[in-house]
Structures are given as C-alpha cells and as structure tokens.
Chain A
Amino acid sequence: MELLVVENAGTPMRLVLTGRLDAAGTEKIEVIFAARVRAAPGHVLVDLTGVGFVGSLGIRMLIAAARVAERARRKFILFGAQPAVAEVFNTVALDDLVPVTPDEGTALAQIAA
C-alpha cells in the first residue's frame, strides 16, 4: 500500500492510495495517513481508484480519519472506489458514515456545495 499526497494551492488536499488496504497495508500507512489528515489546511479528498481491497482495519482507518476531519470542520470525501471495494463500503454501511462519490468531479462538487 502506497500513499501519495497531492497538494495544489486553491484545491483540496488529495490523498492517493494505491494497493491493498488489508492489515499489512493499513499498518504501513495509517499513522502518516492520520497525520496528513490532521495537518491538512482544508478539505481532504481520498483517491481510491488504485485500491483493490479494503479490510476491516482499512475501514477503521478511514472512519478515524473522517472523524478527525469532522472535528476540524473539514470535509473528508472518498472517491473512485472499485466495484469490489464499493460493495464492501455498502455492506459495512461506510457510505452512511463517510461521503463516498464515484469520481473526483463529484467529490469536488460536494466540497463546493
């Protein structure tokens, strides 16, 4: 699991995840992921287009980060989940707890709303 941080002036910070968000993948990045969300200057988008699997610890990482953003009154939106990952999000009702959009454009529109 790899984490890439994309920051451009005037746009929300984008955290790009690539790989499997299984136990090992989550353990590899969750501390830095949480730190990046905590330190984000504004809203946060999480790009999941390159994530093929999300396990229970990955779910926890995303929810914990969403709570951090919420406390800071910042929006935290996941986008681009692959079909298998979207199915997991639906099963665990993650999409009832954290905004999930199909693509970046929709995510940006939600932030602007």
Chain B
Amino acid sequence: MTNDEPEEDRTTLRRPAPAALAEPIVHMLDIEAADGQPARRVTIGPGPLTIGRGPQSGLVLPSGDVSRSHCIVALDREAAIVSDLGSTNGTIVDGLRAEGPVRLAPGARLTLGPFTLVYRSGRAADFARTEEVEKDLARAGRYVAALLPPPLADGPVRADWRFVPSTNIGGDGFGYGWLDEHRFAVWLLDVSGHGVGSALLAASVMNLLRVHSLPGTDFTDAAAVLAALNDRFQMDRQGGLYFTIWYGVYDTRTRILGFGCAGQHPGFMMLPGLATVQPLWVKNPGIGLAPDWPYRRAEVTVPPGARLYLFSDGAFEVATTDGRQLTIGDFLPVLAAPSQPGLAEAERLWQAVRNVARPGPLEDDVALLILDFT
C-alpha cells in the first residue's frame, strides 16, 4: 500500500490457536506383593474394574480371604469410587471398612484379604518420573547390597545375615572381616533419613571400613574407630546426614569382644544354655553429631557357643496390622526364642519381622546379622 492509495479498513481475522490439550489424568492401583504374588500396577480404565477371587474379575486376587466378587472400582469424572460387593471380609479403605461407595483420595490404601492396593492418580508424565525415581532407589539399594560380605560358614567366627532394603532405601549397612590372624571386626550402621543421599553416605562409610581406610587409626580399637569416623563425617559436612553404628572387634586369643556404640541400640549376646540375651551397649552420640566427642568402649568375654545379634532399627520399628508401633522390647523375645531346625537363624528372624508387620513394603531397611563364636 502506498501513501497515495486510500487506506483500507482491514480487519484481520485470526483463527484462535487450538487450546492446549490438558494431559488426561490416569488412575492406577498399585498392588503390593503379598501371598506369593509379586507387586504390580493396574490401570483403572473408563469402565468399572471388578476385583475378586473369581476368574471373571477384571483384577483377580487369588486368596481364600478375597470373595469371588469382592468390590468394584469405577471412575466418576476425575475421582475413583470403590464399592464393596457384599464381600465376606469387607473392603477396608485406610483402615475403615467401606459401608457404601467410598471416594478414594490419592494414596488411599485398600485392603482386600492379604492384599493391599494403593490408589494413585496423576498425569502420565508424572507417573513416568516417579517410576524413574523408584528405579534409581532400587539401583542404590542393589549397590549397597553388593558391598555386603558373603556369609561365613566355617572358622572361629561364623556369620550369616539377611538384608532387605526398603523401597525408599534407608541407609543401612554392615560388614565384617579379619583384621589380622587373630582379630575379627564386625559393624552395623544406619544413616539418618532415607533415599539416595543416605545410601551414598552408607556406601562411603562401608567402603572405608571394608579397606580400613582411616589413616592413623587402630581398627582393633573400637573407640578409636568411632572417634576417627566422627572426625571424618561431621554432619555439617555431610549435607546434614549423620549415622549410628555398632562396632566390635573379637580377639580369638583372649576371647574378648571389645565394642563401641555410637547412637545405636545394643547388640545382643546369647550365651550357650541361657534363654535370655545380654545387651552390649555403650552410651555415645551418633557419628557426626558432636565434634571431638570422647567415644567410650566396653568389653565382654565370649564363651564358646555364644551368638551375637546385630540388627537395624528397621527390624523392630514396624507397624503391625492392628496399627501398633513396635519397639525393641517387642523384638527381644524373638531373639530369645529357640532356633528352628533346618531354618537359618537370620531367616527365622526375618520371617518374624515380616509376619508381625502389616502387609506391604516395610518402611525401613531391615538388616539382621548373626555371628556364632566357636
């Protein structure tokens, strides 16, 4: 258009840009491992999802405690609604028996017989990110587990263990080995918090203890080891993380076990012929909480046939099916109970932990270590 030409009124029509399509919400049920069934995830589609023992169910849960047609989950706009179908044992939602249709909040836990189903909703991309995080946590757990020593079936000190990392990886670790011809070191640690950070610190300490890499430190002296660890791993320099540890050294010549605790609950010794366990504990703060702390140690004589139990707090700080929170006092009778022929002691303890805890993944790592002294 030039200045000589009359101006034209122009009206420009612009077609509105297509509205950005909101990513749809997806609805899932995470079924926790139980009754020999592996963990799995199922999608709740647009149609109702029937759940029951019967083969005609959309989601089959094979257990005699699940009714053939147990309940139904249906979507109502953006919400999921669960309705019990007159099941024998009821559909439990977050601990309460559903008496009518119940709207599920994200994270709601449904209990059907031995099975726990966790309701989740969100955008598909968010689920993908969460799955990646969970895979990273599982990798971290496998790495820590790879640092654990093999069981010892022979020799003056025999060792067996069970290690079950939690889904959130809790920062447990342990190890043992000969310092020289006569002295055997054993330790069990627990880093504060959960997650990859805790696992990283646990792995750092485990690697250091495995190769005795604390310059100038006498690894046969429990107090010296704790002091050196405390000097190396002050909380302010470890991202706010600290850890507790039980460390001991057994001398085959004297049969003396010298040990130290740093913020950890006791180890327990079972003497042959006795039905009770003896706590082995020294009061010291956790590693990293107090600079220059004068760590203390103690000693005990180990008679032939004695057994030492070391375990993480994940073994006893469990929630039961009836909602109780257990403490170490609830675990001691398990230690003192007689061994079962044909069942490894570490496995016996692990089964005891698993049986008393409510169904589903445990909230913390479980580390169980048993040493037998000949």
Check if B121 is an interface residue, CB within 8 A of chain A. no
Chain A residues within 8 Å of chain B by Cβ, number: 18
A96-B194 contact given A60-B235, A91-B264, CB 8 Å threshold: no
Tell whether, in the assembled complex, residue A23 and residue B193 are in contact, meaning their CB atoms are under 8 Å apart. yes
Q: Closest residue of chain B to A96, judged by CB?
A: B285
A87 to B192 alpha-carbon distance, docked (Å):
18
Tell me how far the C-beta of B280 lies from the nearest C-beta in chain A, rounded to whole angstroms.
13
Mark A65-98 against chain B: 1 for CB-CB distance below 8 A, else 0.
0000000000000000000100100111110110
A90-B283 contact given A84-B327, A97-B290, CB 8 Å threshold: yes
Question: Which A residues are CB-close (under 8 A) to B283?
Answer: 90-91, 93, 96
Name A93's contact: one of B193, B194, B285 (CB within 8 Å).
Answer: B285
Question: Which B residues are CB-close (under 8 A) to A90?
Answer: 283
Tell me how far the C-beta of A27 lies from the nearest C-beta in chain B, rounded to whole angstroms.
10
Tell whether, in the assembled complex, residue A56 and residue B192 are in contact, meaning their CB atoms are under 8 Å apart. yes
Q: What does DSSP make chain B's interface, helix, strand, loop or mixed?
A: loop
A94 to B193 alpha-carbon distance, docked (Å):
17
Tell whether, in the assembled complex, residue B289 and residue A63 are in contact, meaning their CB atoms are under 8 Å apart. yes
Check if B325 is an interface residue, CB within 8 A of chain A. yes
A53 to B326 alpha-carbon distance, docked (Å):
11
Q: Closest residue of chain B to A64, judged by CB?
A: B240
A94 to B285 alpha-carbon distance, docked (Å):
7
Tell whether, in the assembled complex, residue B285 and residue A97 are in contact, meaning their CB atoms are under 8 Å apart. yes
Tell whether, in the assembled complex, residue B192 and residue A92 are in contact, meaning their CB atoms are under 8 Å apart. no
Tell whether, in the assembled complex, residue B263 and residue A93 are in contact, meaning their CB atoms are under 8 Å apart. yes
CB neighbors of A among B209-255 (8 A): 235, 240, 242, 244
A92-B286 contact given A23-B193, A23-B194, A60-B240, CB 8 Å threshold: yes
A28 to B193 alpha-carbon distance, docked (Å):
14
Q: What does DSSP make chain A's interface, helix, strand, loop or mixed?
A: helix
Question: Which A residues are CB-close (under 8 A) to B264?
Answer: 91
Q: Closest residue of chain A to B266, judged by CB?
A: A91
A60 to B240 alpha-carbon distance, docked (Å):
8
Mark B280-303 against chain A: 1 for CB-CB distance below 8 A, else 0.
000111100110000000000000
A59 to B264 alpha-carbon distance, docked (Å):
13
Check if B120 is an interface residue, CB within 8 A of chain A. no
Tell whether, in the assembled complex, residue B285 and residue A91 are in contact, meaning their CB atoms are under 8 Å apart. no
Check if A108 is an interface residue, CB within 8 A of chain B. no
Tell me how far the C-beta of B283 lies from the nearest C-beta in chain A, rounded to whole angstroms.
5
Check if A40 is an interface residue, CB within 8 A of chain B. no
Name B284's contact: one of A52, A87, A93 (CB within 8 Å).
Answer: A93
Mark A34-67 against chain B: 1 for CB-CB distance below 8 A, else 0.
0000000000000000001100110110011000
Check if B265 is an interface residue, CB within 8 A of chain A. yes
A93 to B263 alpha-carbon distance, docked (Å):
6
A63 to B293 alpha-carbon distance, docked (Å):
15
Most buried by B among A23, A52, A91: A91
Q: Closest residue of chain B to A94, judged by CB?
A: B285
A87 to B193 alpha-carbon distance, docked (Å):
19
A23 to B241 alpha-carbon distance, docked (Å):
13
Tell whether, in the assembled complex, residue A59 and residue B290 are in contact, meaning their CB atoms are under 8 Å apart. no
Tell whether, in the assembled complex, residue B193 and residue A91 are in contact, meaning their CB atoms are under 8 Å apart. no
Question: Which A residues are CB-close (under 8 A) to B265?
Answer: 91
Name A53's contact: one of B192, B263, B289, B325 (CB within 8 Å).
Answer: B325
Q: Pick 17 A–B contacts, CB within 8 A, sort by A.
A: A23-B193, A53-B325, A56-B190, A56-B192, A56-B193, A56-B242, A56-B244, A59-B289, A60-B192, A60-B240, A63-B235, A64-B240, A90-B283, A91-B283, A92-B285, A93-B286, A96-B290
| Ranked 10 nearest A-B pairs via Cβ | A56-B192, A92-B263, A93-B285, A93-B283, A57-B193, A91-B265, A92-B286, A97-B290, A93-B284, A63-B289
